[in-house]
Amino acid sequence: MKIAIYSRGIENDQHKDMAFFLEELYINKIEPVFFQDFFNQFYSAVTIRGKYTTFNSAADLDDSIDCLISLGGDGTLLDTVTLVQNKGIPVLGINYGRLGFLANIGKEDLHVAIRALANRTYVKEKRTLIHLDANIPIFNNMPYALNEFTLQKKDSSSMIKINTYLNGEFLNTYWADGLIVATPTGSTGYSLSCNGPIVFPDSGSFVITPISPHNLNIRPIVVPDNNIISFDIEGRTDSIICTLDSRRVVVPKEIQLAVKKENFCINLIRLNENNFLQTLRNKLSWGLDKRN
């Protein structure tokens, strides 16, 4: 079995955790394929037993890779979307970060997780991606995101006016600092922090959430993901910020944008004993109110 390993970086106090992780891979006869930049940060401090290789980009990941492990938080896992692309390689998130809705397996469960990978006793969940179309080339050949697409004003400029349409029919005009269109997976991310609703991963929907709207009667709305959502932007500035997950570009406000469901999904690995409800209870501390 070959498993690709990606991380944004490692702290000096995490070398012991990394050594334990690599030893578990060796014991379970798993050949690691390290992201090169990550490998350069720890290889001189940690002993690596057995065969290993490295990779630099998505082009280096082929059919021989059984899965990709993300070491970090949710932001690190979001990076892996640009690596696995439409290859179908499942992704497992080991949480070295803080909250971890996506990377929901704690590093204390590394032994269990690696054994589940080796024995293939895990569950693959298909997660919807959102696709962006624009009349000018942006985001190169990766115009998709796992969590959300956003439109935002630049820096301290005044709010923007976002005319929004569903399949060409006018929905609303949002006077706001910006607008989020989140997937079900992204409903627990930026959208949630802007008071958007939580929706189940298999709900087949998008969540449209305004960022600091001017009108108090404006609320988030859930729409079916078979809609094409398009936008016209007005404002006092010449440009706005457009994001897909953590990737951002500055674009002219005259740009024509539309989002829809991507034609492929990403596969997230979860252990049999974990599920979305359990993650919600653990991360949001639901059911722990002592008055109940």
Q: What is the pLDDT along the chain (292 residues), one digit of tens a residue?
A: 999 999 998 877 778 888 888 999 999 999 999 999 999 988 888 888 889 999 999 999 999 999 999 998 899 999 999 999 999 999 999 987 666 788 878 877 888 899 999 999 899 999 999 999 999 999 988 999 999 999 999 877 789 999 999 999 999 999 999 999 999 999 999 999 999 999 999 999 999 999 999 988 899 999 999 999 999 999 888 999 999 999 999 999 999 999 999 999 999 998 876 778 888 887 788 877 767 5
Distances (CA, A) of 32 to 5, 77, 106, 186, 268: 7, 17, 20, 29, 19
Residue 74 annotated in active site = yes
Reduced to 3 states (helix: H, G, I; strand: E, B; else coil), residue 57 is: coil
| This prediction's pTM | 0.92
Listing from the earlier edge strand, what are the strands of the sheet with 148-152?
221-224, 205-211, 178-182, 148-152, 239-244, 247-252
Catalytic residue among 74, 177, 225, 245: 74
The CATH fold of domain 130-261: Tumour Suppressor Smad4 (2.60.200)
- Which pair of tokens denotes residue 62? 């082929």
User: In the block, which residue shows the tokens 């930049």?
Assistant: 37
The CATH fold of domain 2-128+265-284: Rossmann fold (3.40.50)
Domain ranges of the chain: 2-128+265-284, 130-261
